[in-house]
Amino acid sequence: MTAGPDNRKYDEAFRHAADDPEGFWAEAAKAIDWFVEPALTYSASGGWFPDGVLNTCHNCLDRHVHAGRGGAIALTYDSPVTDTHCSYTYAQLLDETGRVATMLSSLGVGKGDRIIIYMPMIPETAFAMLACARLGAIHSVVFGGFAAPELAKRIDDAQPKLILTASCGIEGGRTIAYKPLVDEAVALSAHGVGHVVLLQREQLPASMPHNLDIDWHDLRERTANDAAPTCEPLDAADPLYILYTSGTTGTPKGVVRDNGSHAVALAWSMANIYGIGAGDAFWAASDVGWVVGHSYIVYGPLLVGSITVLFEGKPVGTPDPGTYWRTIARNKVKCFFTAPTAIRAIRKEDPEARFLKEIGTGECRAIFLAGERADPDTIAWLERESGLPVIDHWWQTELGWPAIASCFAMGDLRRKPGSAGQAVPGYDFAVLDDDGRPLSDGKSGNVVIRTPLPPGAFRTLWNNQAAFARNFATFPGYYETGDAGYRDSAGFLHIMGRTDDIINVAGHRLSTGQMEEIVARQEGVAECAVVGAQDPVKGMVPVAFMVPRAGFAEDEALIQRAINAVRSDLGAVASLKTAFLVDQLPKTRSGKILRNLLRKIVDHEPFEIPATIENPTVPKNIALSLELTRPDRINPIRS
């Protein structure tokens, strides 16, 4: 375990939040500028700060300008794919947001209207989100390039007044035309969209053949002399946005985030987890189509008056594995947030960290990882090569901000390989068996959080209160995270994977996440996934997929080393006898490995290419490879 110099501040905050949650969060709410101060901190029916009135855009922009910080940098756009680097001050960002709010207002957009934003990682996307917040409209950002049928589902569920889009997005070396996808989605959906406002990008302009199409720049010019709308006063519980996640039935779930508790939670997290305040540069290397982009590219940094970096590029190939370190150094980033898969991609291309050693990390004080489980070997490599604390932490779209972490800003640097840290103040975790009984330390079970959830967490799903309620039905009094894990004797929480990643091998419940941790430690493994495959004798058996690092693709002993290591650490009961070397793993654009897809491939079940996938060719290539290398259902590469 890595120990920090002092964790007393964290301990005090945790006790305060546990013993007096209303007092704790009432104090945190003082960081927000309220039009009407909340007299009540929490009620079961109204949630957090139910009688407070505020506006999130005002808290992100107006109040900083009014406080004399209009000349301070608010947003830096760093785009290696377009060779663009520019910044906006708080005054400029307020002006740009006001112009977009004027555009929307001229089209009849007001409080409660839904707006779908289907745009790439460009400043106008942030302008649009903040403009919606200013008007009290509810934005739903859909990852640019998402398949038309998936976009159509979101159109029909959210029923937006209009769609904001761009002519194209740039994904590494690919330029993706957005407008044909939007047109197809509008045609597929039952809901009638009023307008499609299109921002033309010079990399790939789009035609505008439909009556509902409006040119972004033309609309801006037409409304240039109109006064920008003032910030709409909103109840704390009024929705700020809807963010869709994939549902198990194929119907997306619309997570609804409120205005008041969201602002309080994010401002608290910026100050107390990441250590970011006014004037500090913060970079979350994600996309605004995901929850990290909402919380820590747009809203979190601006709420506290810091500088947010909006990056349009990839960890490798734009142009090289040094682009992240270059971006950190160039923009004087104080705290960096990325996904483990990005670090593994960098390590695969640059295993000796030559770019990192040459460029350095500038003024960066810490690196945070989230989005998927971070294997200890990746963390150890990054800490060793960067010389910085690398902090894994855990949260979900439903929660909106970190729930498990080492609270770096409080001086708590305690870290343990394989753990995402300890519960963040405000969260009360438990580990329960399937019958709802608490498990002792070290015993793996269902990871749950006691209700009420803290500020910032979802309070409903859009148009689907019944599905929302199911999150709390299995274990009354708790929110079911859907993750399996355990708490150790030191209080560290270990998230081992989704509950459906626990496999039953001949009556033994085994964690594929634990096996992945072992496989990832082997020399030559860049990244890996372990899934459960159906077996006629044992019920299920684990199967490993490994991506070799540069120089190890021809290492014939790599598979055997991984199999032997799992057997050595877990015993023969683990039954890992099958492994494959693959060029890539199937992942979402946010970096999550699509393990369920791998399960279907290894079991020879029909599978569809998910709309969220980064590279649609990967699953087919893996399936073809399995067919060529084995005649049977599971390839007997045996120990």
Interval 446-485: pLDDT, tens: 999 999 999 999 999 999 999 999 999 999 999 999 998 9
Q: Does any domain span residue 517?
A: yes
207-221, 434-448, 620-634: which range is least confident on average?
A: 620-634
**Digit-coded pLDDT (tens) for 604-623:** 888 888 877 888 999 999 99
Residue 124 lies in a domain: no
Confidence of residue 119 (pLDDT cuts 50, 70, 90): very high
Q: What's the mean pLDDT in 323-338?
A: 98
Question: 567 in a domain, yes or no?
Answer: yes
- Residue 616: CA count within 13 A, CB half-sphere: 8
> Per-residue pLDDT for 347 more than 80?
yes
- The average pLDDT across 387-415 equals 96
In a domain, 537, yes or no: yes
Between 77 and 624, residue with greater pLDDT:
77
Indicate the number of domains in the chain.
Answer: 1
| CATH value at residue 545 | 3.30.300.30
Q: What is the pLDDT of residue 227?
A: 97
The predicted-structure confidence for 173-226, as pLDDT tens digits, reads as follows 889 999 999 999 999 999 999 999 999 999 999 999 899 999 999 999 999 999
pLDDT of 385: 98
Residue 7, pLDDT > 70, answer yes
Give the pLDDT confidence score for residue 633 in this predicted structure.
40
pLDDT of residue 557 exceeding 70, the answer is: yes
| Residue of higher predicted confidence among 635 and 47 | 47
pLDDT for 572 beyond 80: no
Q: How far apart are CA 507 and CA 444, in angstroms?
A: 15
Query: Residue 75 domain-assigned?
Result: no
pTM: 0.86
Angle subtended by helix axes 558-570 and 512-520, to nearest 10 = 130
Place of tokens 């209207």: 113
The answer to whether residue 2 is domain-embedded is no
pLDDT at 159: 98
Q: What is the pLDDT of residues 40-87, one digit of tens each?
A: 999 999 999 999 999 999 999 999 999 999 999 999 999 999 999 999
Kindly state the percentage of the chain with pLDDT values over 70.
95
* pLDDT band at 509; cut points 50, 70, 90: low
With a pLDDT cut of 90, the percent of the chain lying above it is 78
Give the pLDDT score at 133: 98
Does residue 523 sit within a domain? yes
Q: How confident is the model at residue 632 (pLDDT cuts 50, 70, 90)?
A: very low
| pLDDT given at position 507 | 59
| C-alpha to C-alpha distance for 553 and 152, rounded to whole angstroms | 41
Residue 69 within a domain: no
* pLDDT greater than 60 at residue 286: yes
Task: State the Cα–Cα distance between residues 269 and 143, nearest whole angstrom.
Answer: 25
| Cβ neighbourhood burial of 45 (10 Å; 0-12, 13-18, 19+) | exposed
Domain that holds residue 621: 506-629
Residue 4, pLDDT score: 47
Residue 284 has pLDDT above 50, yes or no: yes
Residue with token string 């779930």: 253
Three-state SS string across 186-246, please? HHHCCCCCCEEEEECCCCCCCCCCCCCEEEHHHHHHHCCCCCCCCCCCEECCCEEEEEEEC
At residue 551, the 3 state secondary structure works out as coil
Q: Which pLDDT band, with edges at 50, 70 and 90, does 367 fall under?
A: very high
